[in-house]
Structure 1
Amino acid sequence: MTSADTTRHPAAVDAPTLRDWMDTPDRPRVLDVRTAGEFTTAHVPGSYNVPLDLLTEHRDELAAHLAEDVVLVCRSGARAGQAEQVLAEAAADLPNLHVLTGGVVAWEAAGAPLVRGEERWELERQVRLVAGSIVLLSVLASLVVPGAVWVAGAVGAGLAGAALTNTCAMGMALSRLPYNRRNAPSLEQVLADLRSPASRGR
């Protein structure tokens, strides 16, 4: 924000508030922490892609370039919340971090515009496919090898743990597949964006 602006925005920002805020001179930087594939499919105009795995791996370098207001965006808000925690741990003096409540889903539901590109499966959908397939195959395999049913149990336990901790190891693993990393930005590209004042308005 500019020094003359006394408006304060809460840590959680809803879609209408962000839409109005992006039309002001002190518009925030909008960082989309989904995979490059998800970002290509649809993203908030003016946002740019910083996948969660890249942000987590290079949090110190990125946090050092976040002096102004930043709104973190993902599909539903869960990964953006994780990104906020990661950046807050890297630099405790970052009071300017915000999360778009409900993510891109809420943004679209509010009638806000999206930049659309090639259709790609969202990470959550990929997790459902992989987890469901493993459970199904494990149950079928247990007809021949009774112990195979424990694989299904392990997947169930993993999904329950993911819900309780609001993290997903399977999702993070899938995010590293070539399908999700195609056109992913490099650290150098992201840092160049953060250093450029023009990137706030693109």
Structure 2
Amino acid sequence: MPDITPAELKQRQAAGEHPFIIDVRETWENEEARIEGSQNIPLGTLPQKLDELEDHKEQEIIVHCKGGGRSASAKAYLTQQGFTKVRNLVGGFQAYQQA
């Protein structure tokens, strides 16, 4: 799936949508600031959390980190595991805050 821009995500949220968002930053980063409604699963723990994500396998999943690098890795990993609708937030949380 194509990645999603911060503007598109904010537009969808403003319209009342609640997409499934995974924040792959470390817990301390998430505690400082976060996208409302996102679930924090640090990238290093993603393999251990696959069972918890099984219900979302066919749903759109938006992954993000600080700048987009870690979430690109998360997107690739989840796609390899059979998740079909994974999108990376372009520019990460930094771009989201500025959008």
**Aligned-pair Cα RMSD in Å:** 1.7
Q: Which has the higher contact order (CA 8 A, sep 6+)?
A: 2
- TM-score, normalized by length of structure 2? 0.87
8 A Cα contact 1:56 1:83, kept in partner: no
- TM-score, normalized by length of structure 1? 0.45
Q: Secondary structure at the match of 2:36?
A: coil
Unaligned runs of 5+ in 1: 1-9, 111-202
> What whole-Å deviation, never above 9, does each CA across 1:111-167 have from its counterpart, x for those lacking one?
xxxxxxxxxxxxxxxxxxxxxxxxxxxxxxxxxxxxxxxxxxxxxxxxxxxxxxxxx
Unaligned runs of 5+ in 2: none
Q: Which has the larger radius of gyration?
A: 1
Between structures 1 and 2, the one with greater helix share? 1
For 1:24 and 1:55, locate their aligned partners in 2 and report how far apart those are by CA, in whole Å.
30
8 A Cα contact 1:63 1:90, kept in partner: no
Q: Percent identity?
A: 23
**Which residue of the other structure, out of 109, 113, 117, is the alignment partner of 2:98?**
109
8 A Cα contact 1:76 1:103, kept in partner: yes
**Letter of the structure 1 residue corresponding to residue 65 of structure 2:** C
For 2:53 and 2:81, locate their aligned partners in 1 and report how far apart those are by CA, in whole Å.
7
